[in-house]
Structure formats: structure tokens, C-alpha cells
Structure 1
């Protein structure tokens, strides 16, 4: 089961990476259109940017940012301040690590719950993006999944007892 969770979290991060690629591509096209518009203006012409660029990037960044959190936790890549803790006995460090893993798992589930509430409210309100008119509620789903995966990896690390550092 732990191996399957690790694979799912890695795949989820790759899913986020696809959004990064899409953001880079769309941004490159939009900036190129802006530059082309400057050149075209010299000759009395215009080149339009991508309509809805801001809508897409705003939604895609939210998916991307959250999709990496479980992977970062899996690799213990979060910022850790060990100034006080490094001089404490190993048992105390292990206890603190377990405490923070449990706290982080609880926080991630708390965030997942409220994102789920937000998803449902956005769906009920029929909230749409300003330019493209896309429904916003589906973009909450990956965030909910990310928070649940984050909680699961914290619980896995808690059970396996792999201390940080």
C-alpha cells in the first residue's frame, strides 16, 4: 500500500508538471504576441494576445502549486528549522517529528474539507472566469486531492517512523 501511495504522489506531481508546461507555453505565446504587436504597430497593424490568458494561468497555477505539496512532503523537502532541535536527544527529536507529522496531517485534512466546501459553493453559485467563462468549481478538485494526498503521506511517515534528518 505504501508503494502504491508513493507512486500515486509521484504521478500527481507529474500531473502538476504538465500544468507548468502548459503555463510556460501559454505565457510564451502571449509574450510573443505582445512583441509581435509592437513590431506590427510600426507598420500600422496589430497582433492580439491570447484571450483569457489571465484566467487560464490563475487557475492552472493553483492546480500546479498544490500538486507538488504531497511530493515535497514525501521527500521531506519542506523547510525545517533545526537550530534548537538538533541539539536535543534523538528520542525528543523523533517525538517532535511525530507531533508535527500528525499536526500537518490534520491541517491538510482541514484544508481539504474547506476546499471541498469552496468547490460546492462555487458550483452552486455557478462562478465563472471573467474572460473565458469557464466554470471555476472543477479547478478546486485537484486541490482537494492534493490535500488528501498530503495528509496520507504524513500519516505514512508517522506510521513508518522515518524521522527527518
Structure 2
């Protein structure tokens, strides 16, 4: 695996982690505001939650959800079913792994294609979040890039399999 690709994939996962922490922070603040509001109502006051919290979380999660996939593929941390494959010969296991890598590449590119069409549709429809009014289409970009990176990592792993034989 090229070091530059490994660096990009690791940085991408780190960015996803930072965004996940922002989601947790926003959720914590909003939950604390909800609790504080319950107490404040006893005294005739109120405490508002974060305006647009749902919009922020929904849009950010839509970006973050796929950002971990390339890193997971790089580290081979994906779900693997080894219960029955362990009983096969090494040659059959290698063939199965190649088939799975090819299918992973095809799946990731297929999803990237359809996500691109979804992004174009969201852009053309001027789709936006209901509270904050943020346009939805830019939040497709991290997902599309993640799917392309995922396919690229799987392709590099497939290439490594071929060159190591």
C-alpha cells in the first residue's frame, strides 16, 4: 500500500473521529439544556436547546458514517466470516479473498455512483435542512470520497495479492 494513500486514509478517519466528537459534544450540550429546562420550568423560566441540533447531527452523521470505511478496509477490520473458510485450502481462501476484494471494489464504486446522482438531485432540488437552512448536497461529498477511497484501498490490496504470488 502506498504510504501516501495510507496517510490520506488515516487522516480521513481522524477527521471522521473529530466530527464524531463534535456530534457527541452537541448531543451532550443539548441533553444538558433539556435537563436544565426541566429544572428552570419549576421556577417559571426556560432554557433553550441548541437551535438546529437535529439538522447538524443528521447532516454530520451522513458525512461521518462512511468516512471510517477506507481505514477499516486498510486495517482489514471489516467483518469476515472465517467459520467455514478456515476449513478450505489456502488456495481456495486466497481465491475467496480476491473475489471479495473485487466485489468490495464494485460495491463501493456502485454506491459512489448512486450517491453522486443523489447529490446532483439534492443540488438541483435546492434541498436544505429545515431549521438551519444548510444545503444538503455538500454533505454527500465526504461520503462519495469515502466510497472512492474504500474502493482504492481494496484495489491496492488486490494488487498486493497479485504481486505477492
Matches within 5 A, 1:118-157: 118-157=118-157
CA distance in 1, matches of 2:11, 2:46: 42
User: Secondary structure of 2:129's match?
Assistant: coil
Unaligned runs of 5+ in 1: none
What's the counterpart of residue 99 of structure 1? 99
User: Aligned residue pairs: how many?
Assistant: 162
1:65 Cα deviation after fit: 1.3
- The TM-score with structure 2 as length reference comes to 0.95
CA distance in 1, matches of 2:41, 2:21: 30
What's the counterpart of residue 158 of structure 1? 158
1:79 Cα deviation after fit: 1.0
What's the counterpart of residue 109 of structure 1? 109
1:10 Cα deviation after fit: 0.4
1:50 and 2:58 correspond: no
Please tell me the root mean square deviation across aligned C-alpha atoms, in Å: 1.1
CA distance in 2, matches of 1:142, 1:61: 11
Show CA shifts across 1:103-126 (max 9, x none): 100110010111111111100100
Unaligned runs of 5+ in 2: none
